A = this chain, B = another copy of it.
Amino acid sequence: MLNGEECDMSGWDMNNCPVRDVIDRIAGKWSTLILEALAQRPYRFSELRRMVPDISQRMLTQTLRDLQRDGYIDRQVFPTKPPSVEYRMTELGHSLFAPLSRVLAWAADNHPAVKAARARYDESELA
């Protein structure tokens, strides 16, 4: 990575860079929020909806499918009536979330610094 091994810009064409292939998925608008929730414990569809109130059920479904497809979460259907579905983070998902949560924590911690940098930049721009 750092030495240009995995996704060397000069070697890969963008469309099949393995790092991008993975990153693009978790870079979606809702992925990290869902992962954050399921990192704690399994949740049902309606529970997740309540936890991420601004998400549409369309995007919740789609994001869950994408995360499931990439192997980060499992979907288990209980054939009750009415049906109930539980989503649970897989081992792969947890192993991803370990480093990912560090970045999220960094973002939370350094948000003030970033906001300050933006203010400084915008200030110097209004020439």
Contact = CB atoms under 8 A, between A and B. Distances in A.
Interface of A: 1-2, 5-7, 9-10, 13-14, 18-19, 21-24, 27, 29, 32-33, 36-37, 39-40, 50-54, 68-71, 92, 95-96, 99-108, 110-111, 113-118, 120-122
11 contacts: A1-B108, A2-B40, A5-B108, A7-B108, A19-B111, A21-B107, A22-B107, A23-B107, A92-B114, A95-B110, A102-B103
Copies of the protein in its oligomer: 2
Given A1-B36, A121-B69, A18 B113 contact: no
Contacts of A5: 108
Contacts of A18: 107-108, 111
Chain A's interface: helix, strand, loop or mixed, by majority?
helix
A106 B117 contact: no
A99 B106 CA distance: 8
Given A19-B104, A22-B111, A117 B71 contact: yes
B13 A54 contact: yes
B108 A92 contact: no
B107 A9 contact: no
